[in-house]
Amino acid sequence: MEASPVNKMLDAMSRQGFRITDQRRTLAHIFLEDGGYLSPKDVYEKLSKFYPSVSLDTVYRNLRTLSDIGILEQFYFMDGGLKFKACSLNHHHHHLICMNCEKTVSFDYCPMDHLGGIPDDFKVINHRFEVYGLCESCQELSEQEKTSPQRENE
């Protein structure tokens, strides 16, 4: 009944010295089932179905903790605010993010492998590379609705 990834996630938590509470177990399920980005409120609502007494601040706390230890990754959507998703515990990659439906597709290219022109007195620790756009299905939608804003500065 439990897919392996859930255990992997829980495992990672306990290995980092965090306790496996029911909420966290459920949190793992929620993220792995959904696969996409969830706002704290989304998570709270989903979690409430299992634990009606859960409090929003616990959700926040756990989201932050899990992000810190690299189990979740967070993105800020210009319109939807901060959201979290399970990060693939697999290999390094980046994402295409659909600006409409928020679905993500990962790809392997990493600019850091090809990077040039960075002053070498700067010590690189981390990086972020995301490509935003429209996935195929959302493109079709927007062609019909013509909701695409024009920008006009050179």
Residues at the interface with a copy of itself (CB under 8 A): 12, 16, 69-71, 74, 76, 78, 87-89, 96, 98-99, 105, 107-109, 111-112, 114-119, 121-136, 139, 151-154
Query: 57 or 80, CB closer to a copy of itself?
Result: 80
Query: 52 or 111, CB closer to a copy of itself?
Result: 111
3-class DSSP assignment, residue 149: coil
Instruction: Number of residues interacting with DNA: please give it, by CB under 7 A.
Output: 26
Looking at the DSSP assignment, which residues form a beta bridge with residue 107?
Answer: 94
Q: Which partner from the list DNA, a copy of itself, none does 23 bind, CB cut-off 5 to 8 Å by kind?
A: DNA
Q: Is 7 in the site for DNA (CB under 7 A)?
A: no
CA angle 39, 99, 73 (to 5 degrees): 40
Residues 6+ apart with CB under 8 A from 20: 10, 13, 14
Q: Two tokens at 48?
A: 């409430």
Cβ–Cβ under 8 Å, residues 2 and 10: no
**Residues 48-67, mask of contacts with DNA (x by CB under 7 A):** ---x-xxxxxx-xxx-xx--
Cβ–Cβ under 8 Å, residues 106 and 95: yes
Q: Name the residues that contact DNA, by CB under 7 A.
A: 14, 17-24, 39-41, 51, 53-58, 60-62, 64-65, 81-82
